[in-house]
Amino acid sequence: MTTQPSSIVLLGAGKMGFALLQGWADLGLVGGRVAVIEPSPTPELSALCAAHGARLNPADSSLAPPDSLVLAIKPQMLDSAAARIARLAGPDTLIVSILAGKTTADVLARAPEAASVVRAMPNTPAAIGRGVTGAVASAGVTGAQRHTADTLLSAVGKVEWLVDESLIDAVTAVSGSGPAYVFLLAECLAEAGRAAGLPADLAGRLARATVEGSGELMHRSPDVAPAQLRINVTSPGGTTEAALGVLMADNGLNPLMTRAVAAALARAKALSG
């Protein structure tokens, strides 16, 4: 079930805000009901708003508290946007915040009349509609508002609802930061290819296409576990098994990734105070 808000204000339309707006437009959710507040609109943003009839930077006085106020500014801009947030967030407004490191309490402190916050952590593939977002609803969020948040966030990919806000730091460490780990994998594979004697540009193309294709294969095999996909391409006594013997050793990729995610988790906790 999805619930469509009748009015949306998007505060901040940089990379992630633009991705959300594009996703809503693709779902047919954008029209006069959507207002976008963005101090530095790109030509792409202006064109998207114009194409779908969204209001870009309307006068503050023309904006009533919307059904949904989506915060997509940089976290460090929260204080400078606080007065506007306080004015726009009425008692019935659902606030959807994607501000990394800003808690539900941080957001509610800037919105004295509001009671409903969904805190969410998307990731970069949202830009192509293939993100994954961890989301948690505050106690004041109604069932209908939760459906609305699900609609707004799932416009850019999958949504995983969390039972507890404390889990959002771990979500940040796994999927929020995770795309960088995958890009690094492509870099390391290319570097290893060069070490194995391939020309650098060829090694780079092979590594990139391998990560792209493997990700897409996993995407198209939703019922097959990653471990099974790995087993499917590992012949006993073959080359893949030889490499996996290194990667899956006691000091291999598993403990390394566990340490990397733990470092990201510690940093997320420190940043959210």
Ligand X SMILES: NC(=O)c1ccc[n+]([C@@H]2O[C@H](COP(=O)([O-])OP(=O)(O)OC[C@H]3O[C@@H](n4cnc5c(N)ncnc54)[C@H](OP(=O)(O)O)[C@@H]3O)[C@@H](O)[C@H]2O)c1
77 counts as binding ligand X under rule CB under 6 A: yes
Please list the alpha-helical segments (H only) found in 58-103.
Answer: 82-88
Cα dihedral 135, 141, 145, 146, rounded to 10, equals: 30
17 counts as binding ligand X under rule CB under 6 A: yes
Site string for ligand X, 225-254 (x = CB under 6 A): ------------------------------
138 counts as binding ligand X under rule CB under 6 A: no
80 counts as binding ligand X under rule CB under 6 A: yes
Who's near 229: CB < 8 A, 6+ residues apart?
214, 217, 218, 221
Query: Could you say which of 100, 155, 168, 203 contacts ligand X (CB under 6 A)?
Result: 100
Site string for ligand X, 28-47 (x = CB under 6 A): ---------xxxx-------
Q: Decide: 189 and 207 in contact? Cβ < 8 Å.
A: yes
85 counts as binding ligand X under rule CB under 6 A: no
Give the integer Cα–Cα distance in Å for 53 and 49. 6
**Radius of gyration, alpha carbons of the chain:** 21
129 counts as binding ligand X under rule CB under 6 A: no
106 counts as binding ligand X under rule CB under 6 A: no
Q: Torsions phi, psi of 48, nearest 5?
A: -65, -45
* Count of residues interacting with ligand X (CB under 6 A): 25
75 counts as binding ligand X under rule CB under 6 A: yes
- CB-side exposure of 242: number of CA atoms within 13 Å? 3
The interaxial angle of helices 178-195 and 200-219, nearest 10 deg, is 140
Q: Decide: 76 and 102 in contact? Cβ < 8 Å.
A: no
Residue recorded with tokens 């490191």: 101
Given the complex with ligand X, which of 56 and 229 has the nearer CB atom?
56
CB of 264 to ligand X, least distance (A): 13
Give the helix/strand (H/E) hosting 176: none
58 counts as binding ligand X under rule CB under 6 A: no
111 counts as binding ligand X under rule CB under 6 A: no
134 counts as binding ligand X under rule CB under 6 A: no
Given the complex with ligand X, which of 70 and 190 has the nearer CB atom?
70
CA 151 to mean position of chain CA atoms: 14
Given the complex with ligand X, which of 172 and 190 has the nearer CB atom?
172
For ligand X, the binding residues (CB under 6 A) are 11-12, 14-17, 37-40, 72-75, 77, 80-81, 98-100, 121-124, 176
